[in-house]
Amino acid sequence: MISDPGTPTLDQLRVFLTVVEVGSFAGAARKLHRATSVVSYSIANLEMQLGVSLFDRKTTRKPQLTDAGRMVLAEARTIYSGIDGLRAKVRGLLQGLEAEVHLVLDVMLPGGRIVDALKRFREQFPTVSLHLHMEALGAVTQRVLDRSATLGVSGPLTASIDGVERIGVGTVALIPVAAPGHPLATGGPHAPGAGREHVQLVLTDRSKLTSGQEFAVVGTRTWRLADLGSKHMLLREGIGWGNMPEPMVRDDVASGRLVRLDLPDCAGSDYVFDVIYRTDTPPGPAARWLIERFRSQVGPH
């Protein structure tokens, strides 16, 4: 028995996998368009190189995998699958397909739209690595500007930014909500300015692009949060009131865990989405497909 196995060739692994798949040396020979003796010789050489018996030829006429053969089979499948994946990726590169896409999405984008785009992307481009980032407000555009993202779906920015292309991909309704025990959730309609008397939970921007700008902020007492999930949690616990994407709180409002507020000076608004990318880095085929997918989603979501 050898202590240092040799290195099998891809052809030997292919022959081995084919024998396992069809269940016989003769069947593998027919599928590979080779003589049965050639298949047997390839398997014998593979066993000699590895120093183990892959098939039990003594107790049955049909080749049965040994324990060592089953272990080698799992590794051989992994190796051959990796080679197939490598060839598919290179084929895509030769056709102009990106090796990877870095996508940054605004946290306000409804989850249903995100899941739809990502599932279809995986089916359409199985060889393209997708890197997903979630950001709020100007941090989406910042990632595109600093080239850490190829493509973004951004919320509204009041200032136009040179070098960034924008393509409209719909809106989401923002509605003011609070827990049922919150003072603003009882009674109504409230007088103008009622929201200013209570803590408003506000999403903050980690970039400098919207420095000094406020989005749907009416409260003079605000708590700033960098995470939309944390804001959602605190709202349900009755700690303040705030605006949320309607799809994200739809079930909460229907079940009574949250109440839509009747505030005349903060009745809700549409949050506008744009697909963005740098004009000096136009999207490749996979990124262009994502743009069209987000555009096709525009409608009731």
Residue 106: its pLDDT value, please? 94
Helix, strand, coil percentages (3-state) for the chain, rounded to 5, are: 40, 20, 40
Of 79-88, 143-152, 228-237, 247-256, the one with minimum mean pLDDT is 79-88
For residue 251, is pLDDT > 90? yes
CA 120 to chain centre: 11
Coil vs helix vs strand at 256: coil
- Taking only the tens place, the pLDDT of each residue in 9-40 is 888 888 888 988 888 888 889 988 999 888 88
Alpha helices by DSSP H, listed for the chain, are 10-22, 25-32, 36-50, 67-94, 111-124, 138-145, 228-236, 246-255, 285-296
Tokens encoding 258 = 């949250």
Mean pLDDT of 270-281: 90
Cβ neighbors of 67 (< 8 A, separation 6 or more) are none
For residue 1, is pLDDT > 80? no
For residue 279, is pLDDT > 90? no
For residue 210, is pLDDT > 90? no
For residue 206, is pLDDT > 50? yes
Q: Distance between CA atoms of 208 and 220, rounded to whole angstroms?
A: 22
> In degrees, to the nearest 5, what angle opens at C-alpha 132 toward C-alphas 299 and 166?
50
- The predicted model scores a pTM of 0.64
Tokens encoding 152 = 């973004």
For residue 152, is pLDDT > 90? yes
For residue 132, is pLDDT > 80? yes
- Taking only the tens place, the pLDDT of each residue in 68-111 is 888 988 888 888 777 766 765 665 566 568 889 999 999 999 99
> In degrees, to the nearest 5, what angle opens at C-alpha 129 toward C-alphas 125 and 135?
110
Residue 153: its pLDDT value, please? 96
**Residues 39, 77 contacting (CB under 8 angstroms):** no
**Residues 207, 137 contacting (CB under 8 angstroms):** yes
**How many of the other CB atoms lie within 10 Å of CB of 183?**
13
Residue 301: its pLDDT value, please? 43
Query: Mean pLDDT of all residues in the chain?
Result: 85
- Taking only the tens place, the pLDDT of each residue in 39-73 is 888 888 888 888 888 888 776 678 888 888 889 88
